[in-house]
Amino acid sequence: DAGVIQSPRHEVTEMGQEVTLRCKPISGHNSLFWYRQTMMRGLELLIYFNNNVPIDDSGMPEDRFSAKMPNASFSTLKIQPSEPRDSAVYFCASSFAWDSGSNEQFFGPGTRLTVL
């Protein structure tokens, strides 16, 4: 298995532009997570999906952020419009979870976003 795949790996954009980050989870996993990592705030959970349904988006910072999971093999995180403070590394992770507790999460390599 190729693991969790994220694209692009690096993104440099100007303030106000739309940014779309993509993620392909590991086949067979039923949970998908989007995280943001910065030096100041550490690793923050933005949103997670279970069986393609958003379960908790309370970590999404603002309405400028949106995430979709149209099918079990693809998810996007969109920022529109982007701002310099959105600069961070964005990770996607997937796992197979059941009601009795969390399982290990498999992380993608991340997308380093720089908003100028």
Per CB under 8 A, residues contacting another protein are: 4, 31, 33, 35, 42-43, 45, 48, 50, 55-56, 91, 93, 95, 97, 99-110
> Which is closer to another protein, CB of 44 or CB of 81?
44
Distance in Å, CB of 50 to another protein, minimum = 6
Distance in Å, CB of 112 to another protein, minimum = 8
> Which is closer to another protein, CB of 63 or CB of 104?
104
Per-residue b or e along 96-109, where b marks 16 or more CB atoms closer than 10 Å to that residue's CB? ebeeeeeeebbbbe
| Cβ pair 20, 78 in contact under 8 A | yes
CB burial class (10 A; 0-12, 13-18, 19+) of residue 65?
buried
Distance in Å, CB of 43 to another protein, minimum = 4
The SS3 call for residue 115 is strand
